[in-house]
Amino acid sequence: MKVDADGMLAQRIDFRPAYGRAEKGTLSSDGSTFESIFEAALDVFNETNAYQVKADEAQLDFITGRSDDILAVMMAQEKAYTSFNFTVQVTNKVIEAYKEIMRMQL
């Protein structure tokens, strides 16, 4: 997993729909497995959680007086907020795609 200079996730996640049956070990047309796509999604969720934990720690440090750097607190909160919004948008798109697939007639 690559992280840029600001500590943000610099990994491109490919959530293209897998064609065929999405079972463990089954390859889609682009060579990815459902398991690998699921693990990539879990990595995104874990990354979002890590940003939220860092933001909470920075805020607690500022409140208790262990740190006086308000800019660091604001940056940590903004990273957590941006990561959370990205995760929510990806989740919404995946659910929307799933619903669209379920509406398809064979």
pLDDT at residue number 1: 46
pLDDT at residue number 31: 57
How are the residues of the chain apportioned to helix, strand and coil, as percentages rounded to the nearest 5? 60, 5, 35
Q: Which tokens is 3 given?
A: 């992280």
> Is 5 a residue whose pLDDT tops 80?
no
What pTM was computed for the model?
Answer: 0.62
Can you tell me the distance from the alpha carbon of 10 to that of 13, in angstroms, rounded to the nearest whole number? 9
Number of C-beta neighbours around residue 6 at 10 A? 8
pLDDT at residue number 98: 87
Can you tell me the distance from the alpha carbon of 59 to that of 94, in angstroms, rounded to the nearest whole number? 32
Can you tell me the distance from the alpha carbon of 15 to that of 4, in angstroms, rounded to the nearest whole number? 21
- 27-86: pLDDT as tens digits: 555 556 778 878 888 898 999 999 999 999 999 999 999 999 999 999 999 999 999 999
